[in-house]
Copies of this chain bind each other. A is one copy, B any other.
């Protein structure tokens, strides 16, 4: 019974497993980088996506971008709204839809978080050359195109 066989990356599953594991490690690092800014990675991600698109997004689309359940988005936005980093705004066009909108304070906190995150850059510099970073990034962005 060969159990010690799951080692290299012959199979595509091993690749997914490696991706899942690397993702965990990355998350842990980012989370600890944000520790002093009073934001969890999940909360910062919300602010980031809103900032990226210019300030607001329907909760449903936010859920797609965050790759999480929509009920989670509701509660995430609840907490962010309690901290005045985000506001709920009714969508004029479709009254079923609710927009999460970045507040000025939310925008500041997003930038604060970004600064904190950038502080971990040096760590990664030791691990990857710029060329390798580009290569890795290019490969990662391909994931999720087909079935994501």
Total interface residues on A, using CB and 8 Å? 64
> Are A137's CB and B3's CB within 8 A?
no
Q: Is A124 an interface position by the 8 A CB rule?
A: yes
Q: Which residues of B contact A114 (CB under 8 A)?
A: 6, 13
Q: Which residues of B contact A17 (CB under 8 A)?
A: 26, 30, 117
Report how many copies the assembly holds: 2
Q: How far is the CA of A22 from the CA of B128 in the complex (A)?
A: 18
Q: Is A15 an interface position by the 8 A CB rule?
A: yes
Residues of chain A in range 97-139 having any CB-CB distance to chain B below 8 Å: 107, 110, 114, 117-118, 120-121, 123-128, 132-139
Q: Is A82 an interface position by the 8 A CB rule?
A: no
> Are B136's CB and A136's CB within 8 A?
yes
Q: Which residues of B contact A132 (CB under 8 A)?
A: 139
Q: How far is the CA of A27 from the CA of B26 in the complex (A)?
A: 14
Q: How far is the CA of A9 from the CA of B124 in the complex (A)?
A: 13
Q: A23-B27, A135-B139, A137-B18 are in contact. Are A146 and B123 (CB under 8 A)?
A: yes
